[in-house]
Amino acid sequence: MALPDDTTLPVEPFQEPEVAPPPSPSSLAPDRLVFFFSGFDPKGATFYHRLFRAGAGERNATHADALEVGSRHAVGRWASAWTASWRGTPEAAGAPPPQVRTRVHFMRWDDLVRRHWRRSALQLVADYWNVYVLGISSGVFRRVRQKTRAAWWLALFPLGVAAGCIGAGLALVGGALWAAGLPAALGALAGLFVGIVAWRLVARRIDCEWLLRLYAFTRLQAVGKLPELDVRQDELADHVVEAVESRLHQPGAPPLREVLLVGYSTGSTMAAAVAARALRRLTALTEGRYGRSATSIAIVTLGHCIPVAADWGGARRTRAELKELADCPQLTWHDYSAPADWAAFWRTPPWPEPARLQGLQASPRFHAHMTPQAYAALRRDRREMHLQYLRPPALRAGADAYDYFMLTCGPLTLAERHARGRPSMDARE
**Using one digit for the tens of pLDDT, what is the confidence trace for 342-396?**
889 998 999 999 999 999 999 998 888 888 898 899 888 888 899 999 999 877 7
426 vs 82, more confident = 82
Of the listed ranges 105-114, 222-231, 267-276, 371-380, the one predicted with least confidence = 371-380
276-314 pLDDT tens trace: 999 999 999 988 654 445 899 999 999 999 999 999 999
323-332 pLDDT tens trace: 999 999 999 9
Residue 13: pLDDT band with limits 50, 70, 90: very low
CB 216 within 8 A of CB 124: no
What is the model's pLDDT at position 294?
82
What is d(CA 425, CA 75) in angstroms, rounded to the nearest whole number?
36
In this structure, what DSSP letter does residue 311 have? T
pLDDT over threshold 50, residue 11:
no
Of the listed ranges 91-100, 163-172, 349-358, the one predicted with least confidence = 91-100
Taking residue 122's Cβ as centre, other Cβ atoms within 10 Å add up to 8
Residue 187: pLDDT band with limits 50, 70, 90: confident
Q: What is the mean pLDDT of residues 230-243?
A: 97
- Does residue 362 sit in helix, strand or coil? strand
What is the model's pLDDT at position 17?
44
pLDDT over threshold 90, residue 24:
no
Q: What is the mean pLDDT of residues 186-209?
A: 89
> Which residues have C-beta within 8 Å of that of residue 271, sequence separation ≥ 6?
35, 37, 261, 262, 263, 299, 301
What is the model's pLDDT at position 94?
65
Phi and psi torsions of 358, nearest 5°: -90, 95
* 233 Cα distance to chain centroid: 15
What is the model's pLDDT at position 20?
47
Q: What is the mean pLDDT of residues 155-174?
A: 92
What is d(CA 281, CA 380) in angstroms, rounded to the nearest whole number?
44
pLDDT over threshold 80, residue 92:
no
pLDDT over threshold 50, residue 95:
yes
What is d(CA 235, CA 222) in angstroms, rounded to the nearest whole number?
18
Q: What is the mean pLDDT of residues 139-154?
A: 87
Strands (E), 38-178: 66-69, 73-74, 79-87, 99-107
108-135 pLDDT tens trace: 999 999 988 877 888 888 889 989 999 9
In this structure, what DSSP letter does residue 265 have? T
What is the model's pLDDT at position 206?
85
What is d(CA 380, CA 35) in angstroms, rounded to the nearest whole number?
31
Q: What is the mean pLDDT of residues 30-57?
A: 96
What is the model's pLDDT at position 332?
97
- Does residue 409 sit in helix, strand or coil? helix
* DSSP secondary structure letters along 28-54: G--SEEEEEE--S-S--HHHHHHHHHH
What is d(CA 156, CA 211) in angstroms, rounded to the nearest whole number?
9
pLDDT over threshold 60, residue 315:
yes
> Which residues have C-beta within 8 Å of that of residue 295, sequence separation ≥ 6?
248, 255, 256, 257, 258, 259, 286
What is d(CA 152, CA 14) in angstroms, rounded to the nearest whole number?
33
What is d(CA 75, CA 16) in angstroms, rounded to the nearest whole number?
9
What is d(CA 269, CA 301) in angstroms, rounded to the nearest whole number?
9
Give the sign of the dihedral formed by CA 322, CA 325, CA 329, CA 331. negative
Residue 229: pLDDT band with limits 50, 70, 90: very high
235 vs 394, more confident = 235
What is the model's pLDDT at position 414?
95
* 132 Cα distance to chain centroid: 23
What is the model's pLDDT at position 27?
58
- Closest C-alpha among 82, 64, 63, 99 to residue 17: 82
- Does residue 73 sit in helix, strand or coil? strand
What is the model's pLDDT at position 397?
67
Percent of the chain residues past pLDDT 70, beyond the cut: 89
The listed range with the strongest mean pLDDT (77-91, 258-272, 372-386) is: 258-272
